[in-house]
């Protein structure tokens, strides 16, 4: 799977929250790590032990290569496993996921992309239940979602006593509609902070907010 701008933005946003002490993260679980992007971004900003789980064998092998070639290979462990059967010996301070995007949308013919991009293998409710099981009582659950699935996710989360602490809605440009939502959730009731981010300004250049988040990861900002 390709590295996407929104995934980079999500990783940088979570890393910034950790640096600002808004999230405590000594142990991190990355569900559906794909190429290992999010784990590698967080490893650059924390000393956390990171477990990254990926069901697809090809993606697991790519993530393993990326981690092994990095300076953080002692910090990240990659597992080729089904998260629904995952039974680690610990609970996590932070669980992150960029989950299957297109439940009930048209499925592509490629079965690998089905698993990676659709929720045929893992529904939103299953993911929330798993996070509830594997998260410390005071832990944080962070998600990147298509904007049109946000309300559904919020409703399911509320049913399982997850409360939204921070919500950021993302646009490509000022003239576009929102297309992604980034969420930080916890298991204790809290006041929700809501904001928006525009990736490119009206001059089609990266916005100051985007550059501020990604400057430590993008070479040419």
Domain containing 31: what range? 5-214
The CA-atom distances, in angstroms, between 202 and each of 45, 164, 193, 207 are 31, 30, 26, 9
Q: What is the pLDDT of residue 111?
A: 42
Strand partners, 194: 167
Q: What is the pLDDT of residue 221?
A: 75
Domain contains 219 = no
CB 29 within 8 A of CB 134: yes
For residue 171, the domain's CATH number is 3.40.50.150
pTM of the model: 0.89
Domain contains 153 = yes
Domain contains 220 = no
- CB-based contacts of 34: which residues, under 8 Å, 6+ apart? 1, 7, 54, 59, 62, 63, 98, 116
Query: With a cut of 50, which residues of the chain have pLDDT below it?
Result: 102-119
Q: What phi and psi, each to the nearest 5 degrees, are found at residue 134?
A: -100, 0
Report the residue count for the chain. Answer: 221
Domain contains 94 = yes
Tally the domains of the chain: 1
Domain contains 181 = yes
Q: What is the pLDDT of residue 208?
A: 96
Question: Count of CB atoms within 10 A of residue 192's CB?
Answer: 13
Domain contains 104 = yes
Torsion over CA: 101, 189, 16, 91 (sign): negative
Q: What is the pLDDT of residue 22?
A: 86
Q: Residue 20 corresponds to which tokens in the numbers above?
A: 């600002």
Domain contains 221 = no
- State how far Cα 92 lies from the chain centre: 15
Domain contains 151 = yes
Q: What is the pLDDT of residue 152?
A: 94
Q: What is the pLDDT of residue 188?
A: 93
The CA-atom distances, in angstroms, between 180 and each of 39, 95, 104, 215 are 20, 19, 17, 20
């Amino acid at each position: 799977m390709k590295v996407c701008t929104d995934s980079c933005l999500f990783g940088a946003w979570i890393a910034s929250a950790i640096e600002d002490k808004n999230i405590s993260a000594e142990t991190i679980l990355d569900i559906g790590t794909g190429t290992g992007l999010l784990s590698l971004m967080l490893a650059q900003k924390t000393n956390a032990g990171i477990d990254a789980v990926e069901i697809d064998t090809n993606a697991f092998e790519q993530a393993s290569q990326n981690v092994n070639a990095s300076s953080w290979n002692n910090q990240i462990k990659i597992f080729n496993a089904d998260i629904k059967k995952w039974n680690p010996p610990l609970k996590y301070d932070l669980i992150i996921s960029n989950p299957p995007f297109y439940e009930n949308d048209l499925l592509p013919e490629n079965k690998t992309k089905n698993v990676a991009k659709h929720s045929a293998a893992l529904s939103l409710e299953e993911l929330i239940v798993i996070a509830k099981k594997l998260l410390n009582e005071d832990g944080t659950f962070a998600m990147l979602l298509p904007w049109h699935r946000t309300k559904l996710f919020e409703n399911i989360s509320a049913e399982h006593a997850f409360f939204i602490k921070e919500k950021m809605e993302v646009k490509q440009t000022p003239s576009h509609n929102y297309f992604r939502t980034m969420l930080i959730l916890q298991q204790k009731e809290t006041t929700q902070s809501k904001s928006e981010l525009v990736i490119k300004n009206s001059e089609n250049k990266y916005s100051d907010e985007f550059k501020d988040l990604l400057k430590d990861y993008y070479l040419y900002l």
